[in-house]
Structure 1
Amino acid sequence: MLQFEDVRYKVVVKKASKWGCTFGMKAGTDKEILHGITGSVGAGEMLAMMGPSGSGKTTLLNVLGGRRSNPQWLTGSILYNDVPYTKNLKRRIGFVTQDDVLFPHLTVRETLTFSALLRLPDRFTKDQKLQRAEAVLAQLGLQRCGDTIIGNQFLRGVSGGERKRVCIGQEILINPSLLFLDEPTSGLDSTTALRIISLLHKLAHQGRAVMATIHQPSSRAFHMFDKLILLSDGYPTYFGKAKGAMTYFDTIGFTPLIPMNPADFLLDLCSGNTNDVSLPPNLQQRKKSIASQKQKITPASVPGTPMTLLGKDVKKYLADCCEHQISTWDRTKSLQNQKLQQNLKHLQAVVSEKQQWPTTWWDQFIILFMRGFKERRHEYMSLMRVLQMVLSALLAGSLWWHSKTSTFRQLQDQEGLLFFMGVFWGYFPLFTALFTFPLERPILMKERATDMYRLSAYFMARTLSDLPIEIGLTIIFVVIVYLMANLRHGFLSFIYTILAVCLDVTASQGVGFCIGAAIMDVQKASTLASVIVLGFMLAGGYFIQNIPPFIGWVKYLSFQAHTYKILTYIQYEDAVNVRLHGDLANSVLALAVMVVAYRAIAYISLRRMKISV
């Protein structure tokens, strides 16, 4: 049972500087966007929140779902089975966002299976979790597409309705007693939307309380809802039984003059549009007054002008009527709720709540690692990706075919190959890692909002799941180039070369993770990464030796420079006159520090990212 009374929510509206930019923004003012919303929904009921765009539906849903819990901006009484909101309660509430945030390369079955393994507590065995995923698959009618990938706008997969059912399935895996949905029919055709509403109706009548925002349902879908909250500019205009809404508005003077879908009629009223609607006497008189005054100023040919001026009066009238129409039972119950909440405040302040995770850190790491590996293998192990690596290796091997070091020019040519290997395997892994966190941010925010796993487990799994395939491709590349270019003979030299390039790959990945996590914008991160990679390459020790002191520090941060030194040392350690002998130990240590340091910065950046859905 969810009960809420006089819920109010504010935001800070900041004023931009006179230059129109965010730098130096002036102190903002508080703006209340929810104005005293009251309502309730119990087990077995489905409540719809309707209103025009910008009326506060999603904000109210987030507030009631515990996603906007800042006490500085939120006031009112919200109780869940007579208990205030707690962190542990968050894991027992299902919340389906408007956007279908899913991994495109995972199948429907894999998506639900990984969610079950992560969200169901340890008291369930692995087999029980898998059975639960299969049961939800059957309950939602997804067996037919169980082995079909989710897909996205660039990759063909399941349909929009099936994708929405997968999102709902992820939430009902935990068998929540309260299920929130934000625009579950958005972007769907009327037939598919009706199927989604029918599914929610069944889920509610199985003993759950279901609350959904919905913009403009069909007449059949509207009558499936048990209760209705109607909003207009953040003010409540109706709360009660959905089937009683038309009767209520008829009693206060609003009646459709032509046959209309109830949802269309209600949304028109909340928007202030009174075309084809009878008005109460006072508003009818107001309409005539506005029309007569307007005719004196504006040509009569301007259509709809009186209606526009009348809109604010209609909205205010609806809000005032709603305020006075709260039933005696609701008011009495509301007072009891407020008293109960005040009694529990002291208990909440005294008892510190220990965060409980569904599974252990190690289990989370293993599950997330496998999920990340399965999702990314399609990109790394695709025919085009493997072909790219092999053809690049064959091209490099052909250009440096059986290279020699007999003369200084031949030695220069072979050094160019070593530098190319460091640059090549510093570029591709960096830009692949660069997009990881910006592209996965919606999924990370969605899953972290429900405390599905620890951030550290996700970070370790996500940064390590790419390495096996990336290193595998690296080894293939080095083997081809090493043999074709006739580099230094000897098993140890060959192994050291592979290890050096793999260390280069790991360090460059760290730089990509760091930039992506710190900026979280693909375009900006790509621009910055391009400049950084260019600077590291130029300071890599091949193009220029005498770098001016004021910019000489760049070479110490360049993983390409250290890789070049290590590869040069491996190939020419026995030579007498080597232009770049290098310090092997210092370069290896520098790369090892980069592997850890850049990832640490990336993790700190993710930790500071605001989780808000």
Structure 2
Amino acid sequence: MSSAELEFADKRRDLQTRRSRTDIDRSLYLLFEDISYTVRRGILTKERRELLRDLNGDFRPGELTAIMGLSGAGKSTLMDVLAGFTITSVTGRILVNERERNMSEFRKLSAYIMQDDNLQPLLTVQEAMFVAADLKLRSNRCQKSQRIDEILTVMGLDVSRYTLTGKLSGGQRKRLAIALELINNPPVMFLDEPTSGLDSATSKQCLALLKQLAQEGRTIICTIHQPSGTLFNMIDHLYVVADGNCVYTGSTHNLVPYLTSLGLHCPTHYSPIDFLMEICNGDYGSHISKLVESIENGKSNVWRSTRTLYLNEEIIIPQQIAPIRLYSFETEFKQTPHYAASSWKQLCILVKRNAVKLIRDRVLTFSRISMHFAIALLAGALYFQIGQDAAYVLDNFNLLFFSVMFLMYNAFSATMITFPSELPILMREHFNRWYKLRSYYLANKVADFLVQFTATFIYTIIVYYMSDQLPESRRLGLYMLMCFAISLVGQAVGLIVGSGLKVQNSVIFGPFAIMPFLVFSGFFVHLKDAHPYLHWLFHMSFLRYAFEGVIIAIYGYDRAKLKCSADYCHFAIPEKLLTELDMKHVDYWFNMTILILLCIVLDIVAYIILNIRVKKRI
């Protein structure tokens, strides 16, 4: 081993010796019986396909368990079921320390680290750790800092604590993902492909870390696709899946004798796991049914390790006997709240995190503000000083509609495109009990509120004065308020589309969702000119309410006669324009109330869609 690896191992051992006996005592034994899982073959058919078939097994504390199998064999599906990530269409029993698993209680004890790291790229390592500690621990700041220092030291991330997570190497990102979940020291950890995308040296370091965590008394379960011989020998318990069945469960050094007992002789100097994968692939004929029958689809423990585990000074896993001792989590964790932080504290922490992200995200934040600034200058130059000239009333009419449409569509598209990118992070953090979904949603709204307000303020101020609208503070305030309201509605519609669709689909279908509201906004066709059967569509268009609002703000409230630079100005009297547009009796505050209520309703719809998507893990 290199000096760096020796130093890393020494640090881990040093922390292990300082672990309290209560940490070692937090050990859980996971047993599953007759687990089956089916999915529909298609949207329009009721026929179902079975991905897991009556699987059995037991995963023990103190062991590094690896679930292996060919692509599509069902290893990730089994991991999702055991972790509780997949709960629908699952049959069978899952026991924790010989008691039926309570999903709500189990999630307090476990952490699921998915294949994609899904980290916040704009936070430093230390900032990410403090966010996790603030959300998951109830201790004071000093104790949290000490806990973070210990974990970063053990994980070899101490020198990278001020590095942005987006600039970490693949191995460092994997270790950070584990470190974030170690904050509250869960007794059960699930890891999907922890060595995926890592080189051999980093993969070895990652697996050594997992083995160390297991030796501290945790139940560590991971999926590994194709390990090298070195990685294979580091595994304590091997669970192999083929076609939704278990073909082997036992120690790695018992794999060759197991295959030999069935007449399947592994060639000398050949990787046993590669040989088993080739058997599962049918390279040597059809042997899967024989393997499943021999291992009793995971029930047989004949090939398990004979090593006895001593935890809490008790022999809890003799040779092939399940532990009888029940862990005290039955009393400890039932009184522990589902979330360590209150809803208000979660909201404050997440708002602070989002504020840091927005400040550092120059592409999202500064591009939005600079775009509003640039378009405002362009619009102001095109419609320069026309606001008080009756000869250009129709041009000003076009400018007001453009402003409403631009502010709405910009807020809509920005939210629609950026929000889906946050969903994988939300899935991981919410599933691992960092925060409530409503806290996350409100924090996103609050943090983005300031950005949207700043962008709208810059645009409206520049356009208002460059186009020479009437310099009255009341009209400016009403104009700006209506523009801000329509931008919030556009943002809510963007959240609905972004929450319900993937980015690729939202980019295509999102503009189509906006199109009907645009057509019936009152700009292209006036309400009085449309067929009576179509009037309800005008009343459904939120753009119509905003457009009428800005028209009233500029030309309503008994505005005096406009000056005319031409020989004849048909709309020199503003009331005549309002009559022509059928807006004479429009109530500004009624339209504003409609937009505010619509914004609230759309936000509730977006939250419901997001909640459904998170619960269904889609």
Task: Map 1:447-466 onto structure 2 (within 5 A).
Answer: 447-466=429-448
Partners of 1:267 and 1:5 in 2: how far apart? 25
Q: Does structure 1 retain, via aligned residues, the 8 Å contact 2:482–2:546?
A: yes
CA RMSD of aligned residues (A): 3.1
Q: Does structure 2 retain, via aligned residues, the 8 Å contact 1:94–1:171?
A: yes
Give 1:427 shift: 0.7
Tell me the equivalent position of 2:50.
31
Find 1:417's aligned residue among 366, 378, 399: 399
Find 2:290's aligned residue among 296, 317, 322: 317
Amino acid corresponding to residue 457 of structure 2 in structure 1: I
Tell me the equivalent position of 2:369.
386
Q: 1:526 to 1:316 in 2, by over 3 A?
A: same
Tell me the equivalent position of 1:509.
491
Give 1:185 shift: 0.7
Partners of 2:194 and 2:414 in 1: how far apart? 33
Instruction: Give the SS at the match of 1:202.
Output: helix
Q: Does structure 2 retain, via aligned residues, the 8 Å contact 1:108–1:147?
A: yes
Asked if 1:41 corresponds to 2:40, the answer is no
Q: Does structure 1 retain, via aligned residues, the 8 Å contact 2:124–2:162?
A: yes
Tell me the equivalent position of 2:314.
none
Q: Does structure 2 retain, via aligned residues, the 8 Å contact 1:398–1:484?
A: yes
Give 1:598 shift: 0.8
Asked if 1:147 corresponds to 2:132, the answer is no
Structure 2 gap segments, 5+ residues each: 1-26, 305-316, 560-573
Amino acid corresponding to residue 240 of structure 1 in structure 2: G
Give 1:125 shift: 2.3
Partners of 1:382 and 1:30 in 2: how far apart? 46
Partners of 1:540 and 1:77 in 2: how far apart? 56
Find 1:472's aligned residue among 443, 454, 464: 454
Tell me the equivalent position of 2:225.
215
After alignment, is 323-332 or 217-226 more displaced? 323-332
Q: Deviations over 1:160-217 (max 9, x none)?
A: 1111112111211111112111111112222221121122122222332211111111
Partners of 1:89 and 1:10 in 2: how far apart? 20
Q: Does structure 2 retain, via aligned residues, the 8 Å contact 1:181–1:212?
A: yes
Q: Deviations over 1:92-114 (max 9, x none)?
A: 21211112222333333332222
Q: Deviations over 1:544-569 (max 9, x none)?
A: 21222233223323332222222222
Instruction: Give the SS at the match of 2:50.
Output: strand
Amino acid corresponding to residue 520 of structure 2 in structure 1: A
Q: 1:489 to 1:68 in 2, by over 3 A?
A: closer
Instruction: Give the SS at the match of 1:33.
Output: strand
Q: 1:54 to 1:524 in 2, by over 3 A?
A: closer
Asked if 1:438 corresponds to 2:420, the answer is yes
Tell me the equivalent position of 1:269.
279
Tell me the equivalent position of 1:601.
605
Give 1:5 shift: 5.0
Tell me the equivalent position of 1:565.
548
Figure out how many residues of one structure are paired with residues of the other and give that number: 550
Give 1:32 shift: 6.1
Q: 1:388 to 1:446 in 2, by over 3 A?
A: same
Q: Deviations over 1:42-78 (max 9, x none)?
A: 2x321222222222222222233233445x7321452
Amino acid corresponding to residue 501 of structure 2 in structure 1: M
Find 1:357's aligned residue among 328, 339, 344: 339
Amino acid corresponding to residue 162 of structure 2 in structure 1: D
Give 1:466 shift: 0.9
Tell me the equivalent position of 1:132.
147
Tell me the equivalent position of 2:537.
554
Partners of 1:563 and 1:335 in 2: how far apart? 67
Q: TM-score, normalised by structure 2?
A: 0.81
Tell me the equivalent position of 2:123.
106
Amino acid corresponding to residue 48 of structure 1 in structure 2: A
Q: Does structure 1 retain, via aligned residues, the 8 Å contact 2:110–2:188?
A: yes
Q: Does structure 2 retain, via aligned residues, the 8 Å contact 1:37–1:235?
A: no
Percent sequence identity is 27
Tell me the equivalent position of 2:188.
178
Partners of 1:242 and 1:8 in 2: how far apart? 24
Q: Deviations over 1:370-413 (max 9, x none)?
A: 22333344156655443322221111111111114443x41111
Q: 1:404 to 1:59 in 2, by over 3 A?
A: closer
Q: TM-score, normalised by structure 1?
A: 0.82
Partners of 2:366 and 2:32 in 1: how far apart? 59
Tell me the equivalent position of 1:189.
199
Find 1:326's aligned residue among 276, 301, 304: 301
After alignment, is 536-545 or 382-391 more displaced? 382-391
Give 1:588 shift: 1.0
Give 1:509 shift: 1.0
Tell me the equivalent position of 1:84.
101
Asked if 1:7 corresponds to 2:38, the answer is no
Partners of 2:47 and 2:153 in 1: how far apart? 51
Tell me the equivalent position of 1:294.
none
Q: Does structure 2 retain, via aligned residues, the 8 Å contact 1:379–1:385?
A: no
Q: 1:229 to 1:13 in 2, by over 3 A?
A: closer
Q: Deviations over 1:128-150 (max 9, x none)?
A: 33443343223211233333333
Tell me the equivalent position of 1:277.
none
Q: Does structure 2 retain, via aligned residues, the 8 Å contact 1:92–1:177?
A: yes
Partners of 1:548 and 1:244 in 2: how far apart? 81
Instruction: Give the SS at the match of 2:615.
Output: coil
Partners of 1:376 and 1:8 in 2: how far apart? 48
